Amino acid sequence: MTPGITERRPNLRHLLDLAPLAIGTGVYQGARLGLSLIAAAVLGPATFGEWVMITLLLQYSAFASLGFPNGAGREVPRRLGQGRPDLAERAEDVALSGTLLLGLLAGIAGLAIARALVGGPAAIEIAGLLGVAIVAQQLVLLEQVLLRSRFRFTSAAVQLGVVGVVMLLVGLAALREGIAGLTLALVIGLLAALVVGHFVLRRRPRVTWDQGEVRAIVGIGFPIMLAGLAFSLLTTLDRWLVLAFIGDVAFGIYGLVGIAISGLMVLSTVVAQQYYPRIAHAYGANLDPQALLAMAQRQSWIASTVVALAAVPMIALAWLILPSVLPEYAAAAAPATLAMLGILVYSGATGNANLLNSVGAIATTSPSSWWRSPQM
């Protein structure tokens, strides 16, 4: 069976296909959550809030790529579905070139912004490490896109797992250095992921600049990237409002809410990351629109189920653990509960988002009205 085209009805084999990337992401998120909780207890709300700010800057920097990875994430599987591997390779090469160039620029900008926002004796060290982390993150994110675009989900899972384990071990060892130690752990984890990516990518893209291909990839990826940026800004705006109107201590406490949000959101993302290349591949292979719609609906159903199964124990733990283990952060339990319920609703719409990104269309009443034969 072609890897991008699956049965219309979910079955056990299909659900097991999701397991490798789910496990790798679980290791990554578990390590990240564990390190964050330990750091929150050791650093205290005010200093932990500074770390939350650093992680937000890193999150926003992912959108400095102008859509090169987004365009490759749609075009590589679509072109493979058309039986044009040469064009898929061209998209990979151009995506690497654009991502590397813009990643370097973003790293310099991030360094300057962090230097202005972060104080203390280690400010220069933290800013420099953040600049390196931004560049490395751009390349790791692109490698993840390329692995998933070729349905190499186990390799993508291994890379994510390495980031989590290395970051946790180094972070625990360097935690006495505060935010500088945490940033160092982040950098080493990302660099380790790049080493893994070098070995697991069956085809390593080459730096190539093709003006026509650049326009094609950015033309597809930039709108998708803008939508992702808008979503990221809207889902992190609450943290900045807390900082502006309540203060830095509350900002640090509320940082645990952000961890809960991202932890749940990544579960639906794991499902989306595996369905997106499949839908794009099927679209390139001219699968009928009703089948594409069924794939999107199946994605939403699985994502909602997984998030619901995780949200219930997470909400219970927030109310049971925070007051006794991290009493300084007990106030985060109520907003975390509301936020996690919101993520449950959001997960039900992820399939439609992937479908619309894959076909390059807007929502209409009938799938046949947006269907068209894929064109170059």
Reported as a pLDDT band with limits 50, 70 and 90, residue 21 is: confident
Over residues 152-174, the mean pLDDT reads 90
The residue extents of the domains of the chain are: 12-370
Helical packing angle, 123-149 and 68-81, nearest 10°: 10
pLDDT score, position 256: 78
Residues 6+ apart with CB under 8 A from 60: 229, 232, 233
In this prediction, residues 257-271 reach a mean pLDDT of 77
Distance (Å, whole) CA 250 – CA 186: 24
- Say which residues have a Cβ less than 8 Å from residue 173's Cβ, sequence separation at least 6: 181
Candidates 178, 242, 189; CA nearest to 38 is 178
The predicted structure's pLDDT at residue 95: 93
User: For residues 142 and 96, is the Cβ–Cβ distance under 8 A?
Assistant: yes
* Residue 319 pLDDT exceeds 80: yes
Q: Where are the alpha helices (DSSP H) in the chain?
A: 12-17, 19-43, 45-61, 68-81, 85-117, 123-149, 153-174, 179-200, 211-245, 248-284, 289-325, 333-347, 350-359, 367-370
38 sits in the region (left: phi over 0; alpha: psi -120 to 50; else beta) called: alpha
- What single letter denotes the amino acid at residue 237? L
Q: How many CB atoms lie within 10 A of CB 201?
A: 17
More confident residue, 247 or 1: 247
Reply yes or no on whether the pLDDT at 144 is more than 70: yes
- Residue 264: CB atoms within 10 A of its CB come to 26
Let me know the angle formed at the C-alpha of 151 by 30 and 26, rounded to the nearest 5 degrees. 5
pLDDT digits (tens, 9 = 90+) for 173-187: 998 888 899 999 999
* Structure confidence at residue 5 (pLDDT): 46
Please write the tens of the pLDDT for every residue from 289-302.
788 888 888 888 88
Q: What pLDDT digit, counting tens, does each position of 275-287 carry?
A: 877 887 888 777 7
Report residue 191's pLDDT band, with 50, 70 and 90 as the boundaries. very high
Q: What is the pLDDT of residues 74-97, one digit of tens each?
A: 889 888 888 889 999 999 999 999
Which range among 110-124, 159-173, 222-236 has the greatest average pLDDT? Answer: 159-173
At residue 215 the predicted structure's pLDDT band, cuts being 50, 70 and 90, is very high
**pLDDT of 224:** 84
Distance of CA 369 to the CA centre of its chain: 31
* Whether the Cβ atoms of residue 73 and residue 222 lie closer than 8 Å to each other: no
Select, from the ranges 16-25, 48-57, 118-127, 352-361, the one with the highest average predicted confidence (pLDDT). Answer: 48-57
pTM for this prediction:
0.77
